Amino acid sequence: MESSTFLRIDHLAIAVQDLEEAILFYRDTLKLPLVERRETMGKYSGMRSAVMSAGNFQIVLIEGTSPESQVSRYVNEYGPGVQHVAFEVENIDETHRDLARNGLEFSTSVLDAPGLRQTFSKRDKVSGMMFELIERTGETGFKEANINRLFEELERADAY
């Protein structure tokens, strides 16, 4: 696999302690437009998110809804900051297979929605980073069904 498999950074997910304060900073100080807000509830926990446009990629601000939330657990262990990096890829099946062959483990399966396919790695023990692979074939945003399935699979894997 060559590094050209990654087309670009699709988005950065940044875990925050206070979503409203974070939105104010990214919108008013950094001048990034707010694209959308969303609340996602899993079986055990939830998160609130805000998508901010950063030109060629997006920043997704995420906040846990309870102390048990994946996002809250991440903030408790690592502090606020980049929770995962999403790389857009040309062929998610091939990239997933190649990265798994190289030793990267995954917390989720490849999830499909019209125009959008996604998967999450397990958190790297060396850097603390989690990676998302995302293949876009027409969809520029995020599909509710994928977000819910990703959240459920991450809960099942006890991943945060």
**In this model, does residue 160 exceed pLDDT 80?**
no
Please give the structure tokens belonging to residue 1.
Answer: 């696999």
The residues, any chain, with a CB within 8 Å of residue 3's CB and separated by 6 or more, are none
Question: For residue 11, which of 52, 41, 64 has the smallest C-alpha distance?
Answer: 52
Instruction: Please state, in angstroms and rounded to a whole number, the distance separating the CA atoms of residues 150 and 83.
Output: 15
Range of the domain at 100: 3-156
User: HSE on the CB side for 155, CA within 13 Å?
Assistant: 16
Alpha helices in the chain (DSSP H): 19-24, 70-78, 92-101, 144-156
Whichever domain contains 119, its CATH number is 3.10.180.10
**In this model, does residue 143 exceed pLDDT 80?**
no
Question: For residue 159, which of 122, 132, 128 has the smallest C-alpha distance?
Answer: 122
pLDDT band at 4 (very low <50, low <70, confident <90, very high): low
* Tally of domains within the chain: 1
Rounded to an integer, the average pLDDT of 23-32 is 98
**In this model, does residue 45 exceed pLDDT 90?**
no
pLDDT tens string 71-125: 999 999 999 999 999 999 999 999 999 999 999 999 998 988 888 999 999 998 8
Mean residue pLDDT across the chain = 90
**In this model, does residue 1 exceed pLDDT 50?**
no
